[in-house]
Amino acid sequence: MVNEQHQFYILSELFIALIGGLLLLAIWSIVQRNFKKKLVNEIKVKRVDKGLVYLSLSLFVWSLSSVVTLFSLSDVGNGGVVLISQNIFSILNSLFLVLALYYLDNSPAFLYNNKRNTNLLILFFILLSLLSFGLSIGMEDRLGTNGIKYSVIPDIILSGILSWFLGFSLFRTFVNRKMKVVAIITVVVILLLFVSQLPSVFYIESLGFTSDLMKIIAKTGLISIFLVLGTSWGLALAQLPNASQMKIHFTDWNQIVLSIPSKGIENKKVEFGSKTTQFNNFLKFAIRRKFASEKEMCIEVVSGGEISSQTYLSRIVENINQILDLEGEERLNRNDLFTFIGQGKYRLRFLPNSIEIDGALLTEFVHNTNNSNYQVFLK
């Protein structure tokens, strides 16, 4: 029979994960119901964001795994059934977490919106899980030489890779949302969750209580972070101006007329003055958004890209705030004007029909030798 301390841990994991999964689904349903139209307006390809759904499914797998673990530790548990089920749970958990990362804007370029790489990573994780299962069957789930449980090593490798991807993605997400404390806590929690699994490799029985304590703290912390992620996503969408109500008119060199009603901006003239580089970059985004195909509407904003740094985007927004003397809630953020697409690429949020460019200005711009590659978008 399982001791009371470990039983408490398993029951705690079961209900905490179950409640966390249900709360994530509730947040996702609210976001989809209230903001789906806003999201669809900006993207021709109808891609419903399911990141929170997959995170919640991952938590449900934790709950179901806890139920099976309780069964396995009882007098009627069947060792073979438990091994198979735990292996399946490992595959499912990895599958849902990787699919969630596919939807996170700040996940590595290797994964974000990249079906081929996502499928390859899922296949790799499945093979690792099958290897773990094979070792468990072959060694009858016993300790190997030197007190090491070799069947657990593939799971630890899988957990390490997932921890890195998840930690990297969530850290960048919270930093970009100006939640640095949460970003730091995220890294600590994910590191703690990984470390808590190491005693299972060496099977140090005296560390059973410590391992369970670290796991319940880390898992509760991670579930809380998922909830903060979902809530902050909803708040970020609520604060975004509705793209269908935004308008921009490039009237002359270094001059635009801007309308963003939710920010109190109605046909306000913005003179960039000597900030020629900012105006040129802004105009590049506008030309691509209005005339280019869906795939070419973006500009790569990385070192070596068409625009070398995100600082150039921030300066456009800061300059507009300064010229229009915007303060408080009316102040523009970078996300109000630009959408991050992933892999270092950004796109203007204004809808193509809401972008006007003076004909003479457009002709002069594309015939400039520095911008000759933009002529292709006008054909």
Whether 118 and 219 share a structural domain: yes
pLDDT-derived band of residue 9, with 50, 70 and 90 as boundaries? confident
* Dihedral in degrees, nearest 10, Cα atoms 329, 335, 337, 341: -170
Whether 194 and 258 share a structural domain: no
Mean pLDDT in the chain?
A: 82
Question: pLDDT tens, 233-287?
Answer: 888 777 788 888 899 999 999 899 999 998 889 999 999 888 888 899 999 999 9
CB 337 within 8 A of CB 327: no
Whether 231 and 275 share a structural domain: no
CB 290 within 8 A of CB 355: yes
Angle between helical axes of 153-176 and 79-103 (0-180°, round to 10): 30
Whether 122 and 173 share a structural domain: yes
Alpha-helical runs (H) found in 104-152: 115-138
Whether 28 and 138 share a structural domain: yes
Written as six digits, the tokens of 203 are: 């099977």
Instruction: Output the pLDDT for position 46.
Output: 45
Domain end among 239, 269, 294: 239
Instruction: Output the pLDDT for position 1.
Output: 45
The H or E element containing residue 251 is strand 247-252
Written as six digits, the tokens of 173 are: 């997400």
Q: With H, G, I as helix, E, B as strand and everything else as coil, classify residue 164.
A: helix
| Residue 33 Cα to chain centre, angstroms | 20
Whether 147 and 166 share a structural domain: yes
Question: pLDDT tens, 281-309?
Answer: 999 999 999 998 888 888 888 777 788 87
Domain end among 184, 212, 239: 239
Report the candidate in 275, 374, 365 with the shortest Cα–Cα distance to residue 317.
275
Cα first-last separation, the chain: 75
DSSP type of residue 242: P
Which residue carries 């801007």 as its tokens? 258
Instruction: Output the pLDDT for position 75.
Output: 54
Task: Please tell me the total count of domains within the chain.
Answer: 2
Whether 120 and 197 share a structural domain: yes
3-state helix, strand, coil in the chain (%, to 5): 70, 10, 20
Which residues form the domain of 290?
Answer: 243-378
**CA distances from residue 259 to 37, 276, 287, 314 in whole angstroms, order as listed:** 20, 21, 18, 19
Q: What CATH number is given to the structural domain containing 184?
A: 1.20.1070
In sequence order, what are the beta bridge partners of 340? 346
DSSP type of residue 296: G
Domain end among 197, 221, 239: 239
Whether 154 and 191 share a structural domain: yes
For 256, counting Cβ atoms within 10 Å of its Cβ (0-12 exposed, 13-18 middle, 19+ buried), the class is: buried
CB 348 within 8 A of CB 316: no
Whether 209 and 280 share a structural domain: no
Question: pLDDT tens, 80-101?
Answer: 556 666 777 878 888 898 888 8
Whether 247 and 220 share a structural domain: no
Whether 141 and 225 share a structural domain: yes
Sheet holding 338-342, edge to edge: 299-300, 345-348, 338-342
Whether 20 and 111 share a structural domain: yes
